[in-house]
Structure 1
Amino acid sequence: MIYQYKFEKILTIKEKEKNDALAKYNAAVKRFEEVAEKLYRLLKKKEELLDFQQEKLRNGLSIQEIRHHQLFMDNLEILVSHCQQEVIESRYKMNFQRDALMERNIEVKKYEKMKENDFLKFLDVIKEAENKQMDEISIRQFLSKGVR
């Protein structure tokens, strides 16, 4: 008697869905890390620029240079703001993909547990059939010895 799980195809589909969700989650994590790294670099650049500008102001700076630095700082602020929004969006997507992955993982675990329970029942049926067969053999042997 060969064991065949009746929901094997469903389990295979659920495992594929889980693997797809895992791939999407990993892509979302990678995207989040890239955007967060970009934001970090922009903030670091802004900090360095502020330090540089403070140093220049101490030593004296022309109005044209002050305007130039201020314009650059304004543009940098816009980039930082945009990047912060990207970080928020990518974090949301990453968390969404994580939740989807957890759901798929739970579904797969349920089907695996069902398969395990079904296999244990299958083993019990086989064991019961073997016990019946052994009982029949014992009865036949007893009857054949008793007839003689």
Structure 2
Amino acid sequence: MAGLQTFYKIKDLHEREKKEKQKDYQHHVEVFEDRATRLYEALKQKESAEEQFQSQLSTKSIQAMTFIQHQHYIDRLEQKINELQPEVQKARTEMQVSQQKLTDAHIQVKKYEKLIENKLENEKFERKQEENKQMDELSMNQYLNSKNR
């Protein structure tokens, strides 16, 4: 079985990879949050513009030009929303893939931690057995020496 130092080195390597994947994941989270925020703001602007227009319609008459300008504004917002939705979905997918890679890296680190722990326990058990064996030999020698007297 490989030496304990080898396991420590491999574990350190996996920990560095895990940290890189953590940074990558954090970057993808930030990109997703940015795009989702922009989409949310566009949806909120559209909702607000529609409410404001409905309010104006109910209180007074509106000129045809104002109606057309408002419709163009709503259309631009809808176009912006339609452009942002795939970007948000792509960012979400990239974030989820990155999260899965981070999870896999974390699992790898845990595997090596467990291997090291098991190796340490085995070494401790073997030392204990060796000590018991030596104590048995010592006891046997003392017993035989006391019999020979």
- Give the C-alpha shift of residue 23 in structure 1: 2.2
Match of 1:142, SS state, is helix
Q: In 2, Cα distance between the equivalents of 1:136 and 1:119?
A: 26
Q: Deviations over 1:84-126 (max 9, x none)?
A: 1221011001110111111111211221221121111111111
Q: In 2, Cα distance between the equivalents of 1:139 and 1:51?
A: 97
Counterparts of residues 72-111 of structure 1 (less than 5 Å): 72-111=73-112
The alignment status of 1:56 with 2:66, answered yes or no, reads no
TM-score normalised by length of structure 1: 0.88
- Give the C-alpha shift of residue 4 in structure 1: 3.4
- Give the C-alpha shift of residue 140 in structure 1: 2.4
In structure 2, the partner of 1:42 is: 42
In structure 1, the partner of 2:114 is: 113
Match of 1:6, SS state, is helix
Identity rate, percent:
35
Aligned length: 146
Unaligned runs of 5+ in 1: none
Structure 1 vs Structure 2 CA RMSD: 1.8
Comparing 97-106 with 25-34, greater Cα deviation is found at 25-34
Q: In 1, Cα distance between the equivalents of 2:24 and 2:133?
A: 52
Letter in 2 for 1:13: L
TM-score normalised by length of structure 2: 0.87
**Consecutive aligned runs of 4 or more in structure 1 exceeding 6 Å deviation:** none
